[in-house]
Structures are given as structure tokens and as C-alpha cells.
């Protein structure tokens, strides 16, 4: 069982992601914006962070950069869960400090495998 921090402002996406993860025995901590996500990451030290890129106040790129600056979070995988799938987006996401990304809308059939693949690295 992993502890997963989800930084996501869309309630439907947050509900679906949480539902799938909890159904597979994982513990989920939600954050609805980047600042809250950074605070919670430092507080709970999750096993993995699922990060939306389109967030209010502070976008996911800035959040990933900030998370990577915190030595306490150095080994925690950050996976962008985003609808950004254009040429160059993947590179920009990885350059911001993310370890990978999962495209939205997620595929409920493969979502768990994609998340667990990043947990095992």
C-alpha cells in the first residue's frame, strides 16, 4: 500500500483518481492547488505525487520545480497527470522535474498499472 498525494483542482478527476487508487488499497491525500500540494508533500512525505499541470494560482511546472528544490522530497516520484499531449509537452514536463506523465482523460483500465510502474522505479 502506497501513500499517494494527488494535486488536482478538478473535482471529477480527483474523485475518479482517488476511487481507483483506494480500490487498489492505496491511501490518498488530496490537494486542490499547487501551494497546498507543496505544503502537504512536505508534511506527509508521500510515496508518489500525481500532479495536474493546469492548476490555479501556481501551474504544475512551477509546483514540480518547487517540489524538486526540497531536499526532503528528493526521492519521491512526481508524475504529471495531464491533458497536455502536444509535441514538446512531454519534454517540458520532464524538464520541470517530473519523472513521467499519464495522459488525461485517464484510462481506468490502465491507470493503476501506470501509477504502480512509477512506484516501482
Contact between 49 and 76 under an 8 Å Cβ cutoff? The reply is yes
pLDDT for the residue numbered 57: 85
Place of cell 495531464: 82
pLDDT for the residue numbered 67: 98
Integer Cα distance of 50 and 61 in angstroms: 13
Share of the chain above pLDDT 90, in %: 89
* pLDDT for residue 85 is more than 80: no
Residue 120 grid cell? 516501482
Integer Cα distance of 72 and 42 in angstroms: 7
Please give the order of strands across the beta sheet that includes 27-31: 27-31, 3-7, 48-51, 78-82, 100-103
Domains (ranges, CATH) in the chain? Answer: 3-120 (3.40.50.2300)
Residue 56 to residues 9, 37, 85, Cα–Cα distance (Å):
8, 12, 19
- pLDDT bin (cut points 50, 70, 90) of residue 89 is confident
* Per-residue pLDDT tens over the stretch 15-66: 999 999 999 999 999 999 999 999 999 999 999 999 999 998 899 999 999 9
Amino acid at each position: 500500500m502506497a501513500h499517494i498525494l494527488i494535486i488536482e483542482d478538478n473535482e471529477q478527476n480527483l474523485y475518479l483518481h482517488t476511487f481507483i487508487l483506494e480500490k487498489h488499497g492505496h491511501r490518498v491525500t488530496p490537494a486542490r492547488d499547487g501551494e497546498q500540494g507543496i505544503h502537504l508533500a512536505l508534511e506527509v512525505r508521500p510515496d508518489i505525487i500525481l500532479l495536474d499541470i493546469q492548476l490555479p494560482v501556481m501551474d504544475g511546472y512551477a509546483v514540480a520545480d518547487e517540489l524538486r528544490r526540497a531536499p526532503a522530497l528528493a526521492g519521491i516520484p512526481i508524475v504529471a497527470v495531464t491533458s497536455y499531449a502536444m509535441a514538446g509537452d512531454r519534454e517540458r514536463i520532464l524538464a520541470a522535474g517530473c519523472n513521467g506523465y499519464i495522459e488525461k482523460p485517464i484510462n481506468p483500465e490502465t491507470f493503476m498499472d501506470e501509477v504502480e510502474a512509477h512506484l516501482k522505479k
